[in-house]
Structure 1
């Protein structure tokens, strides 16, 4: 889930390097735009309407809450502060500072890479109605048989010998009290908490087995050194009709397909490229992660 962006003139000076690079390159100089394209002039520089709209478009919630143009005005004031700071930086030749040059080049590289990846994603077709229907049918735990869960999450700490026999015993437990007794008998340290979650908020690897459990039953889940037991305390049916799920499924599949297309394109680029690791990063070295930082 995305978080609400709070834009203020004071925070504008701390905008990302990527946005700063665009503004430093785009503000000031060049042919003067028509008055309808200019939101404000700042000394010899300009803030375009497009720049204001670009910030708003990157923050959908901010744009949706823009009653009476209040958010637009705040964004403009933030861009004015940013332009003033950029002009001050140029006045003292900070754009020639090696650290600034390096940061600007890194931001430029990042923006170009993102633009290329977005161009790959834009070529991907949207999922068909048949694909959406198949996804709905394949995941009843998310839709037709969706439930709202109240779970007891129990984190475990113990030796392999202590934990070894627990999975089978946990699967036979009939209640959270049974689980607590098992852990006490095994001498396993544990901590528990109750959590309430909808089916779609649970990781798929956790949701699928939990969806098959009735209240009182537990599942044992180990991933690396992390071991947890989830006990279903309550499970309330909350199905989602097909017609209400279509848009969400379509958006999810489209996003997943675009992500896969970008991942595949990156693999192809790596396959064609000549990449040589040097120094402490050389493949086969004792520990690439311990390579000294670049100076």
Structure 2
């Protein structure tokens, strides 16, 4: 009897010692699952907390959100969702995207900083993002992209939004008017000269799925990016560009070295 009592007490003591406690780097324990200070700090860093906010209140709110997330995730596991094919497929995709993103960041962080001459050359090739940066106020029409080639040709031939509206009305294609603005730094370098040469009110059309958006530049407001801010932006853009190029080259090498086997009917078409 004494032996069994001692064993029971020993097991109880062992279980008590194994219980996790909210101390040290552990800020909370949810059903024996720890939430660490580093996890909480990572959530805070991604929360975009405004200056002047009550840090203690924000921290508590973020922590409560973490606890809620843990509880719901635990319930999902109890329901077997983590063993479903759909979850496993999505989890694999998310893991791969996270790994690739971190690989790209590592490549960018370890890349050599460009020289002043390289930075100046980069800025000169993209004037719309630096010295000649502008903010364009746009008048817009949004409409369902027509499949009739004759209508498409008439749309392409229009020189103003009003002409375009007339073509759409004649073709019984409904449209919506709107306004927007565009900072020229987001325009690809190869497209910018074409858009910059457009006449007053002349539309340019951007397809978006089964919709199209026609825009005409109403006003152009100079908004140059120069000095130290321009240099910082150029360096960041160059490092992102170099990282992308490096990853693409690495991918070519990986494909060349990889053994890839396709099921019949799934192989890409042979290169001509």
| TM-score, normalised via structure 1 length | 0.62
Aligned residues: 247
Shift of 1:245: 1.8
Counterpart in the other structure of 1:37? 25
Shift of 1:39: 0.6
Please, which runs of 5 or more residues in structure 2 have no aligned partner? 1-16
Q: Secondary structure at the match of 1:118?
A: helix
* Segment drifting more, 32-41 vs 70-79: 32-41
Please, which runs of 5 or more residues in structure 1 have no aligned partner? 1-28, 286-295
Change (3 A) 1:151 1:43: closer
The answer (yes or no) to whether the contact 2:129–2:186 under 8 Å persists in 1 is no
Shift of 1:83: 3.8
Shift of 1:190: 6.8
1:80 aligns with 2:67: yes
Counterpart in the other structure of 2:95? 111
1:143 aligns with 2:143: no
Shift of 1:179: 5.5
Q: 2:34 aligns with which of 42, 46, 66?
A: 46
Counterpart in the other structure of 1:191? 175
Aligned residue runs from structure 1 range 177-188, under 5 A: 177=162, 183=167
| TM-score, normalised via structure 2 length | 0.66
Q: Secondary structure at the match of 1:52?
A: helix
Deviations 1:143-165 (A, max 9, x none): 22222222233456373234436
Deviations 1:246-275 (A, max 9, x none): 222222222232233333333332332222
The answer (yes or no) to whether the contact 2:206–2:214 under 8 Å persists in 1 is yes
In the aligned structure 1, how far is the partner of 2:198 from the partner of 2:210?
Answer: 24
> Considering only aligned residues, what root-mean-square deviation do their CA atoms show, in Å?
4.3
Aligned residue runs from structure 1 range 160-175, under 5 A: 160-164=149-153, 167=156, 169-170=157-158, 173=159
Q: Rg bigger for which structure?
A: 2
Change (3 A) 1:51 1:272: same
